[in-house]
Amino acid sequence: MEQKKIPGGEAALKPPVEARYKKELEALAALDAGPRPANWRLSPKAVRTFILGSRKPVSWNGEELVIRKKYLGNDALVERCIITLAGNRGLMLVGEPGTAKTMLSELLSAAISGNSTNTIQGTAGTTEDMIKYSWNYALLLAKGPVREALVPSPLYVGMEQGILTRFEEITRTPAEIQDSLISVLSDKVLNVPELGEEGLLFAKPGFNVIGTANTRDKGVNEMSSALKRRFNFETVMPVRDVAMEKEIIVHEVESLALESGISMPVEEDVAELLASTYHELREGVSSLGHRIDRPAAVMSTAEAVSVYFQTMMTAYYYGDSHMDMGCLVENLVGAIQKENGEDLEKLRLYSDPMVSLGKVYQLEKAMEEALSRHVWLRSGGYLVIDPTESMTVIDVNTGKYTGRKNLHDTIMKINLEAAGEISRQLRLRNLSGIIVVDFIDMESEEDKKLLLKTLSAYCLADPVKTTVVDITKLNLVEITRKKIRRPLYEQAGKRR
């Protein structure tokens, strides 16, 4: 991503959406043949494409331009938002903190009006003149109440130019100040009494308001019923899909790293770990089905992005550009305890150095692999392991491997590799008793002897007494292994 310049010539720390995606917006506008509401830069269909991406590249100015998906969430919600803004009601995006309400608001404003910075930031100190208009008192004293002395608010600018006005965190604003929007949203007119007959500002087509509101933070002021009726409400839910949350983390961290000049790749396995952790803490259930006490803190995707990026910066500036799991856990704990110190006890499993987050994750993955029926070989072949009441049957298959020379080479390579992996699986899974292995058919007696010799050599390294008995004409090899303890699938309470 190319860093955008601000008027002074320096790179902007966070360029607005319309600057970051200028080429995409220009291409969509040039190719847009769909019907559009008055004063919209793009048609609703093109706005949807800008936010949700296109399956095929767009041909524009001699190049193939990929319109990638920017909002990874509910596509139907985005479509409803676009239609709402084309109507006469405002749009209110509500949900927990960190659910990309602001990002969606920026994307909509940039695509529809070409301006995502026409924004009112709601706080406990927001006053009515910050919403409507104020005065330049020097000009007011010199020239009196004239238009030149008026300082327009973002709402005033939106009405005057026919563009969208964003109102961030509207419920942080005192209720009586919020209600100053009622007449504007109802009649689409703003009265400036000081200007006399010229004091009526009628909104131009294209004007509307996008509000955002948190549902969990402290200091929230309930909206009046009268104001609520002027908005269509859309609830933005937290990401429920771990794969999608991982994708968001990877994409956002890549953007942050690029903007910060950090030349370090995003490790997808760490992003997956973080996405899984946040999902488990948010839902109160681990991937193994264990109950977890939910923290009081908001376990949002935005917080997960922050935790990863903080760990990345530590690795980049202090370490050797390798993500440190201990540092990741520390940043996770810090992100959660800022809401409630009691949440530290709930995170004891994650923060305990003896059972760290990384170790828990690695253990779960190892357990999944050790209980899986299929075991892939490096060559592309695979094993199928089926424990039964009387014996364990292991089947060797060629799978994806075809060999570079001939069928004989293929069979021998897979059988010899399988011999080593079978020995490892016997120890890993605590398999004992009679084990019958169905190797891929071999015609040469020399090949069979080589296989038995190789398998026996691997089994000699097993601390538990293991004997390779013989190979039959059907290439079935019988192995016996002394029983020391229960097999892993029984200890895990699963049958494979």
Per-residue pLDDT tens digits for 432-441: 899 999 998 8
Q: How many residues belong to the chain?
A: 496
Residues 200 and 283 in one domain: no
- Residue 115 has what pLDDT? 96
Residues 67 and 186 in one domain: yes
Q: What percent of the chain stands above pLDDT 70?
A: 87
DSSP letter assigned to residue 170: G
pLDDT-based confidence at 355, cuts 50/70/90?
very low
DSSP letter assigned to residue 95: E
- Above 90 in pLDDT, residue 212? yes
User: What is the rounded average pLDDT of the residues 455-473?
Assistant: 86
CA angle 349, 351, 355 (to 5 degrees): 55
Residues 141 and 275 in one domain: no
- Residue 200 has what pLDDT? 93
Residues 415 and 273 in one domain: no
Query: Is-contact 190 155, C-beta < 8 A?
Result: yes
Residues 184 and 103 in one domain: yes
85 vs 372: CA distance, rounded Å: 51
User: What is the rounded average pLDDT of the residues 5-29?
Assistant: 79
The least confident of 27-31, 187-191, 330-334 is 330-334
Average pLDDT across the chain, whole number: 85
- Residue 339 has what pLDDT? 65
Q: Is residue 496 part of a domain?
A: no
Residues 394 and 361 in one domain: no
Which of 207, 235, 263 is the C-terminal boundary of a domain? 235
CA angle 208, 153, 50 (to 5 degrees): 40
Buried b (16+ CB within 10 A) or exposed e, 441-476: ebeeeebbebbbebbeebbeeeeeebebeebeeebe
Q: Is residue 478 part of a domain?
A: yes
Residues 131 and 207 in one domain: yes
Half-sphere exposure of 126 (CA within 13 A, CB side): 25
Nearest to 47 by CA among 100, 116, 94: 116
User: What is the rounded average pLDDT of the residues 96-114?
Assistant: 93
482 vs 434: CA distance, rounded Å: 9
Q: Has this prediction a pTM greater than 0.75?
A: no
The domain that holds 478 is classified in CATH as 3.40.630
Q: Which helix (H) or strand (E) element contains residue 80?
A: helix 75-86
Amino acid type, 416 = L
Residues 158 and 128 in one domain: yes
- Above 90 in pLDDT, residue 25? yes
355 Ramachandran zone, left/alpha/beta (phi>0; psi -120 to 50): beta
Which of 235, 252, 279 is the C-terminal boundary of a domain? 235
Which of 174, 200, 235 is the C-terminal boundary of a domain? 235
Residues 88 and 48 in one domain: yes
Residues 230 and 249 in one domain: no
Q: Is residue 11 part of a domain?
A: no
73, two tokens: 């969430």
- Residue 62 has what pLDDT? 87
Q: Which helix (H) or strand (E) element contains residue 107?
A: helix 101-113
Query: What is the total count of domains within the chain?
Result: 3
Angle between helices 325-337 and 268-283 (to 10 degrees): 30
Half-sphere exposure of 118 (CA within 13 A, CB side): 27
Q: Is residue 6 part of a domain?
A: no
pLDDT-based confidence at 370, cuts 50/70/90?
confident
Q: Is residue 77 part of a domain?
A: yes
Per residue in 316-348, pLDDT tens?
888 777 787 778 877 887 777 766 666 666 665
Residues 151 and 203 in one domain: yes
Q: Is residue 402 part of a domain?
A: yes
User: What is the rounded average pLDDT of the residues 19-43?
Assistant: 94
Q: Is residue 137 part of a domain?
A: yes
Terminal CA-CA length for the chain: 48
pLDDT-based confidence at 410, cuts 50/70/90?
confident
Residues 278 and 191 in one domain: no
Q: What percent of the chain stands above pLDDT 90?
A: 45
- Residue 354 has what pLDDT? 43
The residue with greater pLDDT, 406 or 449, is 449
480, two tokens: 């016996």
The domain that holds 220 is classified in CATH as 3.40.50.300
Residue with tokens 């790293």: 257
- Above 70 in pLDDT, residue 302? yes
Residue 483: give the domain boundaries.
372-491
Q: Is residue 151 part of a domain?
A: yes
Read off φ and ψ for residue 406, nearest 5 degrees.
-155, 180
- Residue 55 has what pLDDT? 87
Question: For residue 322, how many other CB atoms are within 10 A of its CB?
Answer: 9
